[in-house]
Structure 1
Amino acid sequence: MQQNNGIDKKQMISFAVLCLILFGVMFYFQNKQMKEEELKAQQQKTEQVKNAVKQTQASNINPDVTPNAIQTANLSNKELNVEFSSLGGQVSKVQLSEYKAYNHKTDEADLPLYLINKNNSNYGFQFKDKTGKVINTKNLVFSPTVNGNAVTMTANYNGAVIQFIYTLLPKYTLDFKVRTQGLASITSDNKADFIWDYNVRNLEKGRAQEQSHSEFSYAFNNYKDYDYDGRTTMEEEKETLNWIGVKQQFFSSVIEAKNGFTQSKGNQDNVEEGEYLKKFNYEGFVQMTGSELNQDFTWYFMPLDLPLLKSYDKNFDEILPLGWSFIGAMNRYFFMWLYGIIAAWGLSAGWVIFVMTIIVKLILSPIMYKQHKLSAMMKVIRPEIDEVNAKFKDADPMKKQQATMEVYRKAGVNQMAGCLPALVQIPIFYALFRFFPNFIDLRGQGFWFAKDLTAYDDLIKLPFKVPFLGDHLSVFAIACTIVILIYTVMTSGNMQQPQQEGMPNMKVLMYIFPITFLFFLNTSASGLSWYYFVSNAINILIILVIKYVILDEKKIHAQIQANKEKPKTEGKFQKRMREMMEQAQQQQQSQEQRNKKK
């Protein structure tokens, strides 16, 4: 048995050297990236001068309507710039003034952020006239009138007047009223079909990640209940929806109906490449009174900022996918709160995450101590376990298991205690998996060579695509994988090898796990990779301190011997396990006796 002779200097030095190498590589790539950015900036200025003299051309919105016949009107405040088109009387452009979109050409977030632009949104109210002809307001030509912060779009159809009245309000809100007069003379319908076709624009760097976060979201039951749908189709024909929206990674376009949408259904399809991520089609009915359509709606074109979403009091905060139940509560009331406190110190986002990681590790340190103490106890009683395995090598597996459990019981070792750290880490991991790519405060925040901690860093670009990896390698993901591998090697030393043929070698599986983790992290938020790099580096330091400073194998051995002398009382779990094993053994013996009689 080895005794604790103090800190293993070789291990400490090796780990310190490895950390220095990793940090050195990171700084090297950072300096290289800065030089490339300076060159790109010079090229960009040259391009801007060249493009300044180019004239833009208006696109033909509808082949049946000439561009000159289409009029536009504009409203703006500090949050939104909104354009309205006379074709359909609908919103034709929405820019969020305080945010920028990612530019794939410059690898920077330097583009105006448009939720609606270039006809990616198309909506209207559809009904039938008395001859059965289908009429949709999106095909009618309206005349715009601007009055302060309001635009009135007016259309005439066979003597009926249809008005869309838009009023731009604070907090990313656009009030939308529909008023008709004389519509009852041309239709007998008692409801109108609201049809909304919406193509989600690619606004972020991580296309696959943003695409996976784009989905339908909606509330019903007087705003109390919320649901979402990221699948191919959505059907809510029995519920009256208070609002329906299309959510993206950090932004959402939502329309609220004061009297609700009924018989709602929709579908969505991925777009594999280009400026759009997904195509959404929604259809729901709104009530008409006396065949007149007089309904109130509200459009929201908003960032998914939790305090803002909660301020509406319409269950919009559920749009932010922070996880269900305990996971969501952990993100809302701990990680977001903790990030805000540390960020108030004036640290950059990357160092805020660094400090967050240390605090989380300090909170979990008592659990880690128990885990490593159990590991040390397992190491001390390993010879006794090996004796049991050798003694019952050819015996009934049930007897061998009972003998093994008896060794653990006498030594005072609770195997189930080793599961606790893993069980605690699972919800934390999932909470952070939701936190980093959805926390808008991190959007656009760079750290070292990662330009956006909510997207992957692609400093190492590959000349070809690798399945599940893509066309890049994330330095943060690689660094994280290395420290996870080191941590795995350090913690798997006491793991027993399989005693029976055909059983998997758990050590090999544990070594494979960090490699597979690279494929997951390579396209995930770099903030997540940075967190787990720091977390596992701290884990390694904690292991070294606990193993060589705090724990003493000689004392642990003496404690185990003392435990063996004490009378043992079985816990409920141990008693239940023993009874189950005895019952199974009796059934096996009875079965063998019956077989002999036959």
Structure 2
Amino acid sequence: MNKNSIIGFALIAALLIGYSYFNKPSKEEQTVQMKQDSIAQVEKQKSEEALKSQKQTPQLSQNASDTTLLFHKAYSGQSKKIVLKNRKLALTLDTHGGNIVDAKILNFKDRNGKKDITIFSGKDQQMKFMLSGKNENVVTSDLFFTVTNKTDSTVTLTAKASNGGSINFNYKLNKDYLIEFSVLAQGLSGMFAPNYNNMDIEWTDHCRQQEKGFTFENRYASLTYKKKDGGTDYLNEGKDVVDEKVEDVLDWVAFKNQFFSAVLISKNDFQANSLMTSLPQKKGSGYLKQYGAKIKTFFDPNGKTPTVMELYLGPNDFRLLQKVEKESKIGKDLELQRLVYLGWPLFRIINRWFTLYVFDWLTGLNINMGIVLILITLLLKLITYPLVKKSYMSSAKMRVLKPTLDEATKQYNKPEDQMQKQQAMMGLYSKYGVSPLSGCLPMLIQMPIWIAMFNFVPNAIQLRGESFLWIKDLSTFDPIITWNHSIWLIGDHLSLTCILFCVANVLYSVMSMRQQKDQMVGQQAEQMKMMQWMMYLMPVMFFFMFNDYSAGLNFYYFISLFFSAAIMWILRKTTNDEKLLSILQERYKDNKGNPKKATGMAARLEALQKQQEEIKRRREDSSKNKGI
């Protein structure tokens, strides 16, 4: 890697560090903002609860006593709980509102060790269907439904109107995590305007914290939606977003956390201009986000065509989501697997068509997930080994040529002669058949893989709850020490795998710096010393970034660096410098007898030098003319 490349990488790193530092609010500002947000949230919740307690019951009794209302009989009744259950999911519905009030994903332990995940319960989640009639507006959450056609996996809930008509909710729990749901009106055609053909849905949910690491899990919790024309998008997961307008027609809306999601899917689309809300919750509240979606979909008041939807309540498992989509009766390309984020296009391609298949194959062997990560690392190292070896040999060639280049360019050690020195060096490299840029190849090879795994590992639900060595759960951090109060940049713990990764990074940087130093000529070696601090600063920066990250990701990076260092050490021990130098000298003799025109960087340096010499000559001529 030459000086310009090193300076370029250093400047990029400096810009990233500087941007992060200067744009981060101070500790005092964070404290004040957190207090203000907490006070505002508490006041808002108190006012909402007070409003509900004061108005809800009187309004219901008033509606029930108002015999002019179409559904006045449905405004009073008795709340009953109905349970639908299969081997994967347990649902509890309430006849008051016809809504699912409790949902448990079975056989997944929660963060407290209980055997089932409660994805929502009680008032955490509510789904209102709102219809605008000629004389009144109907909100289904206010109605009491009666139960018909009840089995272990199906139920029909009916809200009866005074004219003999009704609104029917039909639920069917499939064999896994998918619920078929439809809304059908009967005998209500005259109660709505002739052109009325849609209904409003207001869906709210308090997304529960399911994992040990609040900060890390919250980073992967987002309100996500699928556009009808293709592609998914999501709300900013780190900021308060209230009623953001989404202008696209949508296929589904998902209230997503790191490993589990609630997804509402519409057969007849959700119309354009939906309003989406995502409010991050305070650490320690037990919740990650407060989600909200105000959407519209098709409704037939004549009762000929039901409003068909599906609700997915389950894990964010790529292969499972593909399977569920095949079972769906919606008949669309839903792309539910997009709930498992695999990175930007290049990194998504790596994860989608390589990492996933390798991961599926290895997990199918029923071996420990820590071993799976080690085997994936070994496989990636084997695939990239030929290119890494070629890059190392290029660096080795530069190392054995260093004494020769020092001697050949010693007359250019003055600062004003650096351009000539660079040109002379490039000319010599060309004659010896050496490319100085090849030394950067290992970093260029590994960077896309590192970033791809950065996206893959935190979203791999297979790591959830899996232990390895001292690590109790590969999907979250592994603390060796914790404390009660959060420290800026560090948090409330120290993660052992993060420390191992950062120490390994320092050691690998030392090895790389020594290798670079061995091949630098003249002032390049001096300039390299100025860059060392950046190489040592990066692992420190990584510590502050990755202390909250999953142990699985930190462990992968640690193993990857270990194998990279081992490969570098083996290549160094197995390289015969004397034999390599003799081969280069023979090549030099051949090229000296058959001079080639400079290409690449050597040609650019030569052209730049000629341009500077021409400018210098003109200045000298101008000075002479002025003197005359």
Bin of the TM-score, shorter chain as denominator length: 0.7 to 0.9
Contact 1:214 1:230 in 2 (8 A): no
- The answer to whether residue 604 in structure 2 is matched with residue 577 in structure 1 is yes
| 1:454 partnered with 2:464 | no
Aligned twin of 1:566 = 590
Q: Is the 8 A contact 1:220 1:241 kept in 2?
A: yes
Match of 2:497 in 1: 476
Query: SS where residue 369 of structure 1 aligns?
Result: helix
Q: Is the 8 A contact 1:73 1:146 kept in 2?
A: no
> Hey, what does 1:161 align to over in structure 2?
166
How big is each residue's C-alpha offset from its partner over 1:369-420, in whole Å with a ceiling of 9 and x where there is no partner?
A: 2232222222223345555376242315433432332232233221221222
Identity over aligned residues, as a percent?
27
The 3 A distance-change label for structure 1 pair 566 and 123 is: same
Superposed displacement of residue 220, structure 1:
3.2
Does 2:275 correspond to 1:265? Answer: yes
SS of 2:482's partner is: strand
Tell me the distance in 2 between the aligned counterparts of 1:238 and 1:520: 35
The 1:217/1:491 distance shift into structure 2, 3 A limit, reads same
Contact 1:487 1:540 in 2 (8 A): yes
Q: 1:422 aligns with which of 418, 439, 443?
A: 443
Write out per-residue CA displacement over residues 403-455 of structure 1, whole angstroms, 9 at most, x where no aligned residue: 33223223322122122211111110011111211112211111122111111
SS at match of 1:203: coil
SS at match of 2:110: strand
The answer on whether the counterparts of 1:187 and 1:291 sit within 8 Å (CA) in structure 2 is no
What letter corresponds to residue 434 of structure 1 in structure 2?
Answer: N
CA distance in 2, matches of 1:168, 1:517: 46
Query: Could you tell me the TM-score, scaled by structure 1's length?
Result: 0.81
Q: Corresponding residue for 1:533?
A: 558
Could you say which residue in structure 2 is the equivalent of 1:553?
Answer: 577
Inter-CA distance 572–291: structure 2 relative to 1 (3 Å threshold): farther
Give the whole-Å Cα distance in 2 for the aligned partners of 1:163 and 1:569.
Answer: 84
Counterpart position of 1:513: 538
* Counterpart AA for 1:535: S
Whether the aligned pair in 1 keeps the contact of 2:490 and 2:544 (CA below 8 Å) is: yes
User: 2:391 touches 2:438 (CA, 8 Å); kept in 1?
Assistant: yes
The 1:457–1:128 alpha-carbon spacing in structure 2 relative to 1, beyond 3 Å, is: same
2:232 alignment partner, one of 226, 233, 236 = 226
Amino acid at match of 1:227: D
Q: CA deviation at 1:96?
A: 0.8
Q: Give the TM-score normalised by the residue count of structure 2.
A: 0.77
Q: How does 1:121-520 map to 2 (within 5 A)?
A: 121-131=125-135, 134-148=137-151, 149-156=153-160, 159=163, 161-188=166-193, 189-221=196-228, 224-231=230-237, 232=241, 237-263=246-272, 264-273=274-283, 274-289=285-300, 294-311=306-323, 312-313=325-326, 314-386=334-406, 388=409, 391-395=412-416, 397-462=418-483, 464-493=485-514, 494-495=516-517, 496=520, 505-520=530-545
Q: 1:304 to 1:413 in 2, by over 3 A?
A: same
Shift of 1:230: 3.5
2:99 corresponds to 1:94: no
Kept in 2: contact 1:460–1:472 (CA 8 A): yes
Contact (CA 8 Å) 1:216, 1:228: kept in 2 or not?
Answer: yes
Alpha-carbon separation, structure 2, partners of 1:301 and 1:591: 76
Partner of 2:31: none
1:534-573 Cα offsets, whole Å, 9 max, x none, are: 222222222222112x211212222232232232545753
Q: Is contact 1:488-1:510 (8 Å) kept?
A: yes
Question: Structure 2 vs 1, CA of residues 345 and 289 (structure 1 numbering), >3 Å: closer, same or farther?
Answer: closer
Give deviations 1:502-554, integer Å, cap 9, x for gaps. 99821111111122222222111111111222222222222222112x21121
Q: Cα offset for 1:473?
A: 0.9
Which residues of structure 2 form unaligned runs of 5+?
1-48, 61-75, 327-333
Whether the aligned pair in 1 keeps the contact of 2:96 and 2:144 (CA below 8 Å) is yes
CA shift, 1:61, in A, is 13
Pair 1:343–1:89, CA change in 2 (3 A):
closer
Matches within 5 A, 1:51-130: 63=53, 64-65=56-57, 69-103=78-112, 109-110=113-114, 112-130=116-134
Q: When the two structures are aligned, how many residues end up with a matched partner?
A: 532
What is the rounded CA distance, in whole Å, between the counterparts of 1:513 and 1:456 in structure 2?
20
438-447 vs 160-169, greater mean Cα deviation: 160-169
Is the contact between residue 398 and residue 585 of structure 1 (CA under 8 Å) also seen in structure 2? no
User: CA shift at 1:463, angstroms?
Assistant: 5.2
Quote how far apart the aligned CAs of 1:459 are: 2.5
- Structure 2 Cα separation of the partners of residues 345 and 288 of structure 1: 49
Distance 1:570 1:327 in 2: 39
Partner of 1:3: none
Q: Is the 8 A contact 2:223 2:254 kept in 1?
A: yes
Cα distance, 1:270 vs. partner?
0.8
Aligned AA for 1:452?
D
Aligned to 1:14: none
- The structure with the greater share of residues assigned to helix is 2
Change over 3 Å in CA distance of 1:570–1:221 after alignment to 2: farther
Partner of 1:444, secondary structure, is coil
Q: Is the 8 A contact 1:206 1:455 kept in 2?
A: yes
Give the Cα–Cα distance (whole angstroms) in 2 for the partners of residues 204 and 525 of structure 1. 11
**Residues 448 and 68 of structure 1: CA distance in aligned 2, closer, same or farther (over 3 Å):** farther
Distance 1:237 1:344 in 2: 41
Query: Which range moves more in the overlay, 566-575 or 434-443?
Result: 566-575
Cα distance change on mapping 1:544 and 1:503 into 2, 3 Å: closer
1:513 maps to a residue whose letter is M
| Amino acid paired to 1:554 | E
Which letter does structure 2 place at the counterpart of 1:286?
T
SS in 2 for 1:102: coil
**Alpha-carbon distance, 1:176 to partner:** 0.7
State the alpha-carbon separation in 2 of the partners of residues 437 and 392 from structure 1.
51
Amino acid at match of 2:206: N
Task: Report the alpha carbon displacement of residue 334 of structure 1 after superposing the two structures with TM.
Answer: 2.4
Counterpart among 542, 550, 573 of residue 567 in structure 2: 542
Aligned residue for 1:147, secondary structure, equals: coil
> 1:593 offset after TM fit, Å?
6.4
* Cα distance in 1 between the residues matched to 2:187 and 2:77: 29
What secondary structure does 2:107 align onto? strand
Note the aligned Cα RMSD (angstroms): 3.2
Query: 3-state SS of the aligned residue for 1:116?
Result: strand
What is the CA distance between 1:325 and its match in structure 2?
3.1
Following the alignment from structure 2 to structure 1, what is the Cα–Cα distance between the partners of residues 77 and 106?
28
CA distance in 2, matches of 1:102, 1:565: 69
In the other structure, the counterpart of 2:38 is: none
Contact in 2 for aligned 1:101/1:111 (Cα 8 Å): yes
Native 8 Å contact 1:191 1:291 kept in 2: no
SS in 1 for 2:309: strand
Query: For residues 120 and 504 of structure 1, do their structure 2 counterparts lie closer, same or farther at Cα, with a shift above 3 Å needed?
Result: farther
User: 2: distance between equivalents of 1:299 and 1:461?
Assistant: 39
Quote the Cα distance in structure 1 between the aligned partners of 2:147 and 2:234. 35
Q: Distance in 2 between matches of 1:237 and 1:177?
A: 24
